[in-house]
Amino acid sequence: MKLILLGPPGAGKGTQAEVLTKQLGVETISTGVMLRAAMRDGTELGKLAKKYIDDGKLVPDEVVVGIVKERLSQDDCKNGFILDGFPRTIAQAEALDAAGIEIDKVLSLEVSDEVIIKRLAGRRECKKCGTPYHVINKPVPEDGKCICGGEVIQRPDDNEETIKNRLKVYHEQTEPIKAYYESRGKVISIDSSHSVERTNEAALKALGLVKQEQ
């Protein structure tokens, strides 16, 4: 299964990817997690990415396309993968096509801007491995640390002003991708405004992995 998770920031792409990766038995490739790891490691890529991420802007296409192509060429992606946060522009979607990477399905997680703004305020993330948490929906373990032992933090780009920028960027630059894949008959849309479990159930049904209720 070669799956793209599409949706605005805070739609639950990372959270669903974490569950689906185990259910489908394929790796998740998250550009956000990769870019934040590069920022943490202080690499050239990380320094460049920081300039955009801190303002809620998109990192240039050629940079992101380069790291995704490199990652997808590795052995553990041979039998499938889940893309979380990529593609985010039509040019990125076209780059996948040009590289001969055929996507099976695009799962579009639908949620209103209002719900997103509320959700992102409570969102937390492991600084070390990127596992997502939420103060209400998915609390951090009792010792305050991630399951990997890493420190759990609030992402600096989850502040109100940056969230608004990210939503604007999403509507202007990322949402058109939906039509791009719709015209190829790849899109399945699910409501992602409820619990993690309910969204996951909807995802599995939409992907034909559990029987539809009669």
The one among 9, 17, 29, 67 contacting ligand AMP by CB under 6 A: 9
Q: Is 74 exposed, middle or buried (0-12, 13-18, 19+ CB in 10 A)?
A: exposed
Q: Is 132 in the site for ligand AMP (CB under 6 A)?
A: no
Question: Could you give the residue ranges of the DSSP H alpha helices within the chain?
Answer: 13-24, 31-41, 44-53, 61-72, 90-98, 113-121, 160-169, 176-182, 196-206
Please identify, using beta-carbon distances, which residue of 52 and 180 lies nearer to ligand AMP: 52
Question: Would you give the DSSP letter of residue 127?
Answer: T
174 close to 84: Cβ distance less than 8 angstroms: no
Q: Is 56 in the site for ligand AMP (CB under 6 A)?
A: yes
66 close to 92: Cβ distance less than 8 angstroms: no
Question: Would you give the DSSP letter of residue 213?
Answer: P
Q: Is 166 in the site for ligand AMP (CB under 6 A)?
A: yes
Known active-site residue 71 = no
The one among 53, 116, 187, 202 contacting ligand AMP by CB under 6 A: 53
Instruction: Kindly name the residue from 36, 71, 88, 119 that is annotated as catalytic.
Output: 88
Q: Is 119 in the site for ligand AMP (CB under 6 A)?
A: no
Helix (H) or strand (E) holding 82: strand 81-84
> Which of the stretches 15-23, 52-60, 139-147, 201-209 binds ligand AMP when contact is defined by CB under 6 A?
52-60
Helix (H) or strand (E) holding 125: strand 123-126
The one among 8, 12, 85, 132 contacting ligand AMP by CB under 6 A: 85
Instruction: Kindly name the residue from 119, 123, 124, 186 that is annotated as catalytic.
Output: 123
Q: Which residues bind ligand AMP (CB under 6 A)?
A: 9, 31-32, 35, 52-53, 56-59, 64, 85-86, 88, 92, 157, 166
Residues annotated as catalytic are 13, 88, 123, 155, 166
